[in-house]
Amino acid sequence: MEKQDIRNIAIIAHVDHGKTTLVDAMLKQNGTFRANEQIAERVMDSNDLERERGITILSKNTAVMYNDVKINIVDTPGHADFGGEVERVLNMVDGVLLLVDAFEGPMPQTKYVLRKALEQKLKPIVVINKIDRPDQRVDDVYDEVLELFMELGADDDQLDFPVVYAAARAGIAKMAMEDESENLNPLMDLLLKEIPAPTGDAEGPLQIMVTTLDNDEYVGRVAIGRIIRGSAKYNQSVVIINGDVETRSRIGKLYTYQGLKRVEVQEAGLGDIVALTGLGDVSIGQTIADAEQPEALPSINIDEPTLAMTFGVNTSPFAGKEGEFVTSRHLRDRLFKEIETNVSLRVEETDNADTFKVSGRGELHLSILIETMRREGFELQVGKPEVIYKEINGQLCEPMEYLTIDVPQEFMGTVMEALGTRKAELANMTELSGYLRMEFVIPARGLIGFRSEFLTNTKGNGIMHHLFHGYVPYKGDIPGRTRGALVAFEQGETTGYGIYSVQDRGTMFVSPNQPVYEGMIIGENSREMDMDINPCKKKHVSNMRTSSSDEAIRLVPPRILSLEQALEYINKDELVEVTPKSIRLRKAVLDRLQRGRERKNSQK
């Protein structure tokens, strides 16, 4: 049976190609908001981090009505680090809108999400967005998209994809560049025509695949998924199937989506995307089935993590001063709660009860978790990101990334040189109106710490994106940080005079009147060895000079590191201390004499 009054689509694209802006325009043009309602830009980016960074981190559902057909829309993240979000939501839809920038063309993440969509035999519609850009190259981009489809092994039906030209910010879409258009109706009409309606047995026993979880402070855990077979009713008895384990439960409240809101209903049918409460400890990938005839659906496959870090309880002398949650119990509960909804994350306990090994899809994936936790009031210390090695056929293998770089031609030499030392191999090079696009295959560990060096080398003009490429035999050693750290050797408060007396040793990370402790990293040495210094030194008052003459000294502004930069910067024997108010770098061993003894022992 076909359910003609519903369509389910996901919007997929590379980061910054306009997915969330297009969803905004669809919602505005289809009567979701009142005429006098104040509407935020990128209304789907609901949490603070998404708004600040202008990226989508969590996939979200919405629905619009068009010509009496309900169109369920899933907005997905554009970063490869959040690929786990994309993989599971594709199970909820019958077709995808593939958005491609009219200048940049298909980028690495476009390739990744399109491959996943084609594997699931979803119907694609290509939207070439930002056609109002003065440097748009629509015809070339269309050819590149066609090549990408062929490269990914699309079948004949998928290769015959329809194309729409759009300017999402202006809220217009058209079937040909020369057409006139005032709205998105050409795109909406094409959606109804091309995206298949949900099919299945509407009268059969219930089957729902749980693809997303949400938490509501009033009703507890909310399971979100699509009805694959049958219908769901309020207060219906169901069985939750997890592998061989079956748990009886009952549907509490039943919601469907309408605009940005969840609307409570008594019954929902085949193909609809629903949110259910009252099911207890349900998890992503489990099947909610009819209590009389329970049948499991195939489980969701999620790609493995490639990067791991240690998360530990904050052990610095300043522990507990700025955060609300500081114990190992708080940390453990928070991390294990995260893996219920963050499916591509892994958390393992270690020999030390205060330390946990957390594995994810990339630096951004893990740093977003750390940033979220510090905003919630957690204090923790994290170690250097390490790649996850695998043994394949008796050989040690490491994860590789496919790196795409766009740089002005003058910086090509410095970028190639920096990547050469990191064992990168050039795969392709093309020219795009003043920019060079270079594609490399590089070990994942070679990318740790590369972003900040890349931005410096290109004076902020470079753009880089990377994507998991696969496992290959170990490529050999990659040189790490070339400069040592400046380490404070006593606890106290920094002074202008103390910083002035040591600032010619390297680059400082601290400013005057800042509390520091023994073993805290307060700067980068200009040489390769670590150096212990005292930034808290005061000028002694004598009959020849006064302390007020400090006002004449000139201090170089310190380099303030963001969380990502701090994670990239540290070595194996260093940690990043993260609190709600501060990000500090420190040595794992704070005591200066003990560090010296360990260094001597390692050299023997």
pLDDT in tens, 336-395: 888 877 777 889 998 988 999 999 887 877 888 898 898 889 999 999 988 888 888 888
The CATH code that applies to domain 402-473 is 3.30.70.240
| Residues 207-290, CATH architecture | Beta Barrel (2.40)
Domain locations in the chain as residue ranges: 6-194, 207-290, 402-473
- Asked if residue 303 belongs to a known ligand binding site, the reply is no
> How much is the pLDDT for 548?
56
> How much is the pLDDT for 568?
84
> How much is the pLDDT for 31?
63
383 Cβ contact partners less than 8 Å away, ≥ 6 residues apart = 309, 310, 312, 570, 572, 575, 588
23 in Cβ contact with 44 (< 8 Å): yes
297 in Cβ contact with 287 (< 8 Å): yes
- Asked if residue 16 belongs to a known ligand binding site, the reply is yes
Query: Phi and psi for 543 in degrees, rounded to 5?
Result: -75, -5
Minimum mean pLDDT range among 78-82, 393-397, 438-442: 78-82
Q: What is the pLDDT of residues 136-195, one digit of tens each?
A: 888 888 888 888 888 888 888 888 889 999 888 888 888 888 888 888 888 888 888 888
> How much is the pLDDT for 234?
85
How big is the CA angle at 172 (ends 166 and 176), to the nearest 5 degrees? 55
The average confidence (pLDDT) of the chain is 82
> How much is the pLDDT for 521?
93
Closest CA to 20 of 79, 66, 78, 94: 78
Residue type, 286: Q
**Alpha-carbon span 230 to 227, nearest angstrom:** 7
Q: Which helix (H) or strand (E) holds 584?
A: strand 583-587
Residue type, 99: L
The residues that bridge with 210 in the sheet, in sequence order, are 225
- Asked if residue 132 belongs to a known ligand binding site, the reply is yes
Mean pLDDT throughout 25-35? Answer: 66
- Asked if residue 228 belongs to a known ligand binding site, the reply is no
**Alpha-carbon span 562 to 386, nearest angstrom:** 19
pLDDT band at 541 (very low <50, low <70, confident <90, very high): low
341 in Cβ contact with 282 (< 8 Å): no
Residue type, 372: T
Residue 69 CB coordination number (10 Å) = 15
- Asked if residue 110 belongs to a known ligand binding site, the reply is no
Query: Phi and psi for 330 in degrees, rounded to 5?
Result: -60, -45
Mean pLDDT throughout 541-549? Answer: 57
Highest mean predicted confidence (pLDDT) among 67-76, 78-87, 223-232, 292-301 = 223-232
Matching CATH topology for 207-290 and 402-473? no
Structure tokens of 37? Answer: 């309602």
Residue 586 pLDDT more than 90? yes
Q: What is the pLDDT of residues 32-73, one digit of tens each?
A: 544 444 444 444 444 555 445 445 444 567 788 888 888 888
**Alpha-carbon span 223 to 108, nearest angstrom:** 31
Q: What is the pLDDT of residues 250-261, one digit of tens each?
A: 888 888 888 777
- Asked if residue 20 belongs to a known ligand binding site, the reply is yes
340 Cβ contact partners less than 8 Å away, ≥ 6 residues apart = 213, 283, 284
Residue 556 CB coordination number (10 Å) = 11
How big is the CA angle at 209 (ends 207 and 214), to the nearest 5 degrees? 130
Kindly compute the dihedral angle of the four CA atoms of residues 373, 379, 380, 381, in this order, to the nearest 10 degrees: 120
| Residues 6-194, CATH architecture | 3-Layer(aba) Sandwich (3.40)
